């Protein structure tokens, strides 16, 4: 299957190169925009934003035990604790929409209630730490904050509604004990928290953009010393890793970070090129006319938000590729409300995702789960667009 996929990609690439009408000024402009957008990402976002974020994601996946998180989803776990952990598990586990499916199937089959299980199912890919960071960096901190808050609230509400609608089925469902690997904690929670905080500060200062002339002396001063602060934090991080972590853990951390890079960077580059070719950068039109985008998802109408939610629910986005696509859409006239609606519905759902979920908890529960996410995303988009 892998060899067939490689052949399809290679054949498709050369067929596109053969058939593409580069003599058209519109096609040439779209091709230029594709690589201009990729250059913008390479210059402004890769080194100072994405690379530190990959190391944070790698640290989360290695230093935080999955067993210590998943144990709170068992049938005997306290409901308040179960929903609290489920609603933020995406940031803790750093899983994508593919990885979350077997985890969801496992905890649901082995004792988790439908509420905590579906809260985890939504939260897993929706609160991806890389996606939240890049959203704030590319689309503005307001959109990043709205995405983070919306995803956490959605996870709670989705879980509670699913538990209410299917309370009888949940009570009658036979469940067994959850079998999880033993926890291995070599450090205290405070030590792990300090290391994570240092890495987050490194990301914050490395990605700190130059403030405008009217943004105050404090921000100007911070920008002037950002690389000194970043360098000092890097030295502190090196000391903490040497003092608190053994060689195998440091190796696993680097390998996990590199695994995220290998998985995401190629797809992100393809997504950026595709978004640039089809939609262009803000203020630079490409292949798709801006009038089409404005007609479908411009403004903040109910129909625009619903269309964005449904599109996000059905489409499959490789991790982080929704951000350059939205950057192009917003530059072509997409409203901020529909943009948030797509961000809240897209990462957690896709047509392949729905098919797998229906095999785990049935078509009826899956349909209700999808409907809840689409309706809430539509309403959230309308509220955000009106603010």
Do 96 and 146 form a contact (C-beta atoms < 8 A)?
no
User: What is the average pLDDT across 177-183?
Assistant: 52
Question: In angstroms, how far apart are the furthest CA atoms of the chain?
Answer: 67
Q: What is the pLDDT of residues 326-336, one digit of tens each?
A: 888 888 788 88
Distance from C-alpha of 276 to C-alpha of 29, rounded to nearest angstrom: 10
Among the listed residues 13, 89, 10, the one whose alpha carbon sits nearest the alpha carbon of residue 348 = 89
> At which residue do the structure tokens 């979350």 appear?
100
The candidate with the shortest Cα–Cα distance to 344, out of 41, 125, 53, 30, is 125
Dump the DSSP string for 51-63: HHHHHHHHHHHHH
The DSSP symbol for 281 reads B
Q: Kindly report the pTM of this predicted structure.
A: 0.68
How large is the average pLDDT for residues 114-120?
A: 84
More confident residue, 41 or 344: 344
The Cα 375–Cα 357 span in angstroms is 19
124-133, 210-219, 366-375: segment of lowest average pLDDT: 210-219
Spatial separation of the C-alpha atoms in residues 336 and 236, rounded to whole Å: 39
Nearest to 117 by CA among 130, 131, 100: 100
Closest CA to 362 of 220, 164, 162, 154: 162
pLDDT in tens, 62-93: 776 656 666 666 555 677 777 777 777 766 65
Coil, helix or strand at residue 344: helix
Residue 185: its pLDDT value, please? 59
Structure tokens at 381: 């988009």
SS3 category, 284:
strand
C-alpha 324/C-alpha 47 separation (Å) is 17
Q: Which pLDDT does position 261 carry in this prediction?
A: 82
* CB burial of residue 199 (10 Å; 0-12, 13-18, 19+): buried
């Amino acid at each position: 299957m892998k060899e067939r996929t490689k052949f399809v990609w290679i054949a498709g690439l050369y067929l596109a190169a053969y058939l593409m009408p580069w003599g058209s000024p519109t096609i040439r402009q779209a091709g230029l925009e594709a690589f201009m957008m990729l250059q913008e990402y390479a210059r402004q976002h890769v080194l100072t934003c994405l690379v530190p974020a990959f190391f944070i994601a790698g640290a989360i996946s290695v230093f935080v035990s999955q067993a210590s998180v998943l144990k709170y989803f068992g049938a005997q776990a306290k409901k308040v604790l179960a929903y609290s952990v489920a609603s933020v598990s995406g940031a803790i586990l750093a899983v994508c929409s593919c990885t979350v499916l077997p985890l969801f199937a496992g905890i649901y089959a082995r004792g988790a209630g439908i509420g905590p299980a579906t809260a985890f199912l939504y939260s897993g890919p929706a609160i991806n730490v890389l996606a939240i960071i890049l959203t704030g960096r590319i689309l503005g901190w307001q959109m990043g904050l709205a995405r983070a808050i919306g995803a956490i609230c959605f996870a709670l509400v989705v879980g509670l509604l699913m538990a209410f609608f299917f309370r009888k089925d949940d009570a009658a469902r036979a469940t067994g004990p959850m079998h999880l690997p033993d926890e291995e904690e070599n450090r205290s929670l405070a030590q792990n928290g300090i290391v994570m905080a240092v890495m987050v500060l490194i990301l914050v200062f490395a990605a700190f953009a130059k403030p405008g002339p009217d943004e105050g002396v404090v921000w100007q001063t911070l920008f002037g010393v950002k690389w000194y602060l970043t360098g000092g934090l890097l030295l502190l991080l090196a000391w903490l890793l040497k003092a608190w972590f053994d060689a195998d853990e440091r190796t696993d951390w680097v390998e996990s970070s590199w695994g995220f890079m290998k998985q995401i960077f190629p797809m992100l580059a393809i997504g950026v090129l595709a978004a640039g070719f089809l939609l262009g950068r803000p203020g630079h039109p490409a292949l798709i006319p801006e009038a089409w985008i404005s007609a479908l998802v411009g403004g903040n109408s109910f129909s625009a938000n619903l269309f964005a939610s449904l599109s996000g629910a059905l489409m499959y986005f490789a991790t982080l590729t929704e951000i350059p696509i939205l950057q192009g859409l917003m530059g072509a006239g997409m409203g901020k409300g529909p943009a948030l609606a797509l961000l809240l519905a897209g990462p957690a759902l896709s047509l392949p995702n729905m098919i797998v979920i229906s095999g785990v908890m049935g078509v009826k529960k899956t349909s209700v789960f999808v409907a809840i996410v689409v309706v809430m995303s539509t309403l959230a988009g309308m509220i955000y667009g009106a603010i």
